[in-house]
Amino acid sequence: GFGKDTQGDIFVRHYDRNWVLSENLNSFPDRAHNLILDIWLEFGLIGLAVLATFSLYLLIKAFAYLLRHRQNRDNKFYLLICLMASLFAYFFTALFGFPLTTHYLYYYWLLGLLAWLLFSQDEWELNLNKLSLAFKWTITVIVISFVAFFYYLLTIKPFIADCFYMLAKRSEVKVECAKTLYYANRMLDIWPSSLKLKEQYVFLNINCLPFLVDKSDVIVLMNNVLNVIDSYPPQEVGYPILMEQAHAYSVFGHYLDAKYYKQAEDFYLAIIKLSPDITVTYQDYARMKMWAGDYDSAVRIVNQGLAALPISISLSHQIDVDKQKYTFYDLLGKIYIQKNDLPEALKYFKLAQAANPREVLIYQKLSDLSWRLKQTKEAFDWLEKGKQISPAENAWDYNEALYYLEQKKMAEALTAAKRALELKPEDKIVKQLVNSLIASNKAKP
């Protein structure tokens, strides 16, 4: 066996692209979702045999007792039935799920009660009458304090931290970064040992980084993130945390100082060595190289990612693969725009559209690039195709108005702008364009 809760760390090292026949792309199991297989994988055959023998021995003893006392049913008889029913219910549910540490505590507590009932010879009782009142109150206060402390530590504290996490996510959606960072800090102050909340803290901070204007705020944020990253226990640093560290350093390189790109690259290379068939690593690594201005390396890394895509694909997971292809081709288009090779960029944007034709944003990119390449008809055609997919979006008519305006076709520009305004009357930018065109001497209302 590999040890408790280690399956994810083991499976990621053996991830194969063709797992997509039965799993999602870039997905690897961290549980067998079956008690017997989980114990086998984590504790080995010897561990499975020991645990099975221990449990079966007690159950056989319990069945033997029930058979002996089926005619003379005492209190122990019914207690044994209740305990065995609980154990069988636990076992049945665990065949289709996975037990956490809490479940194991309940399981061994039930086994302990079962063993006590089976092997205790005499009934016993605790007589408290001989204890002094002061001692009784002391014991009561100690027990209540003990229970209250652990109830707060294990229940109330995580609940409050989760509330702050939800507030942080809500603020993130509203792009209220000051509130997001405040709630994220409160969340981690309350429950600093939670690995899950540490990961979310890093994501929340990094997502706010583009919206910070003051460089001193960026430095404070970076130091907070690095402190959290450095606090991870070494045994917990697997694939997810390595990806988080790589992403953090690449973003710091993009927004703060290019020296961080080197550290990000070290992490990306370590991840690729750990699991070379996971495609999202190449995606993030290539984007970092694009940010760093190393466009040739970025193209090479994207092509490595495309080569790592699965050869055989089940229909149920075709969408995942197509989305990954779209991301790679879209990234290549952006890279070639940075290289000022617009025809090559247009080629890859078309490949991206072919891979995922339901992705709305690609039509705007294709239209803009076609327009820059003086392919006027194609520019309008791409806008029309985008409008067919997302007819409620007014950006198509607005951009059409801008194209007509650039061609000095004021009447057509005004007609398109009015269509855009009808779809979204509160759009101030479109309203300003309509008023400007109406006021123009070349376009009348």
Handedness of CA 419, 420, 423, 424 (dihedral sign): negative
User: How far is it, in rounded angstroms, from Cα 265 to Cα 200?
Assistant: 22
**Which token pair is 51?**
């645990």
CB 86 within 8 A of CB 110: yes
> Residue 424: what pLDDT?
93
CB 283 within 8 A of CB 328: yes
> Residue 374: what pLDDT?
94
User: How far is it, in rounded angstroms, from Cα 155 to Cα 381?
Assistant: 58
Q: What are the two backbone dihedrals, phi and then psi, of residue 24, each rounded to the nearest 5 degrees?
A: -70, 155
In Å, how far are 225, 254, 326 from 121, measured between CA atoms?
A: 59, 72, 71
> Residue 443: what pLDDT?
45
User: How far is it, in rounded angstroms, from Cα 191 to Cα 186?
Assistant: 9
C-alpha 369, offset from chain centre: 33
**Which token pair is 401?**
């108005």
Q: What are the two backbone dihedrals, phi and then psi, of residue 200, each rounded to the nearest 5 degrees?
A: -65, -35
Residue type, 274: L
> Residue 121: what pLDDT?
66
User: How far is it, in rounded angstroms, from Cα 32 to Cα 50?
Assistant: 20
> Residue 71: what pLDDT?
85
Supply the DSSP symbol for 156: I
- 348: how many CB neighbours lie within 10 A of its CB? 21
Q: What are the two backbone dihedrals, phi and then psi, of residue 273, each rounded to the nearest 5 degrees?
A: -65, -40
> Residue 314: what pLDDT?
67
Question: What is the secondary structure of 365-426 as a DSSP string?
Answer: HHHHHHHHTT-HHHHHHHHHHHHHH-TT-THHHHHHHHHHHHTT-HHHHHHHHHHHHHH-TT
Print pLDDT tens along the chain (445 aa): 778 778 888 888 888 888 877 788 888 888 888 888 988 988 899 999 998 998 899 999 999 989 998 888 888 888 899 999 998 888 888 888 777 766 778 888 888 889 988 887 666 666 667 778 888 889 889 999 999 998 888 889 999 999 999 999 999 999 899 999 999 999 999 999 888 899 999 999 999 988 988 888 888 999 999 999 989 888 778 888 899 999 999 999 998 899 999 999 999 999 999 999 999 999 999 999 999 999 999 999 999 999 999 876 666 678 888 999 999 999 999 999 999 999 999 999 999 999 999 999 999 999 999 999 999 999 999 999 999 999 999 999 999 999 999 999 998 999 999 999 999 999 999 999 999 988 875 545 4
User: How far is it, in rounded angstroms, from Cα 48 to Cα 55?
Assistant: 11
Helices (H) and strands (E) in the chain, counts: 20, 0
User: How far is it, in rounded angstroms, from Cα 331 to Cα 166?
Assistant: 32
**Which token pair is 45?**
């055959």
How much helix, strand and coil, in percent to the nearest 5, is found in the chain? 75, 0, 25
